[in-house]
């Protein structure tokens, strides 16, 4: 018996739907749930607006290429896909393969607005000092009075004297962040200040001024990965 074209199409669609449902049951997930889980495992990179000075028609293309070429070295275990910033797999003890990874997934400079919008790779650590070194080659500088620090970041701070709570007091008095945490790194004798600003994010110049009140110096700003390593 021949099936009419219309009913044949309905029959094919029904079979396909059944197969997808069976595959979902075999994996313990519906197709839509599997896609949602896969998407949630790879969050989008964080976007940062770099307000700058000195961006010109001649340098805008070169600045973009310079920033896109910035990279860091990571180590990946081919056996369990563990990734680390150090050459040692803490999961299976297998040898790690060094791999270069770009800091940014996109870079969009705007000469009219003196702004460079960058999207950070969510798997890497990005330091503002790396960005500034690349910009300096094209005589472009961060505009400290306009460059703001929204969201979470880490401030690397140096002080000439042992800190007795003056950094915490200075930041608390300045009311620049919703929350902050000051930790001493004995290896470098520097302080790492983890901060969060959701409303009225402070500019870099205001942060530096608040720390200067505690005789402390802001030496770098760091953005940590948004994907937790296993």
pLDDT in tens, 184-195: 988 888 999 999
pLDDT level of residue 162 (50, 70, 90 thresholds):
confident
pLDDT in tens, 61-101: 999 999 999 999 877 766 666 666 556 666 666 667 777 89
Gap between the Cα atoms of 167 and 182, Å rounded: 8
Q: What is the pLDDT of residue 136?
A: 98
pLDDT in tens, 1-29: 444 444 334 333 343 344 344 344 444 44
Task: Assign a CATH topology to domain 148-230.
Answer: Alpha-Beta Plaits (3.30.70)
Instruction: List the structure tokens of 10.
Output: 């309905």
Helices (H) and strands (E) in the chain, counts: 6, 12
Residue 176 burial (C-beta neighbours within 10 Å; 0-12, 13-18, 19+): buried
Residues paired with residue 28 on neighbouring β-strands, in sequence order: none
Instruction: List the structure tokens of 199.
Output: 């409303």
Where along the chain do its domains lie?
43-139, 148-230
pTM assigned to the model: 0.74
Kindly report the number of other CB atoms within 10 A of residue 45's CB atom.
21
């Amino acid at each position: 018996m021949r099936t009419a074209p219309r009913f044949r199409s309905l029959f094919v669609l029904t079979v396909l739907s059944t197969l997808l449902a069976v595959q979902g049951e075999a994996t313990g997930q519906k197709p839509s749930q599997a896609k949602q889980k896969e998407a949630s495992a790879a969050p989008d990179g964080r976007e940062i607006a770099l307000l700058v000075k000195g961006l010109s028609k001649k340098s805008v293309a070169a600045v973009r290429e310079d920033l896109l070429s910035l990279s860091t070295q990571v180590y990946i275990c081919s056996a369990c896909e563990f990734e680390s910033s150090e050459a040692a797999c803490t999961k299976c003890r297998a040898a790690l393969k060094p791999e270069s990874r770009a800091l940014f997934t996109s870079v969009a400079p705007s000469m009219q607005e003196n702004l460079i919008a960058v999207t950070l790779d969510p798997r890497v650590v990005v330091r503002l000092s790396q960005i500034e070194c690349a910009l300096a080659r094209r005589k472009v500088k961060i505009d400290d009075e306009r460059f703001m620090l929204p969201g979470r970041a880490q401030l690397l701070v140096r002080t000439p004297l042992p800190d007795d709570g003056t950094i915490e007091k200075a930041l608390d008095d300045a009311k620049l962040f919703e929350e902050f945490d000051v930790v001493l790194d004995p290896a470098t004798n520097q302080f790492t200040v983890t901060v969060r600003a959701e409303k009225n994010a402070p500019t870099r110049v205001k942060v530096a001024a608040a720390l200067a009140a505690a005789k402390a110096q802001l030496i770098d700003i760091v953005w940590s990965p948004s994907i937790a390593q296993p």
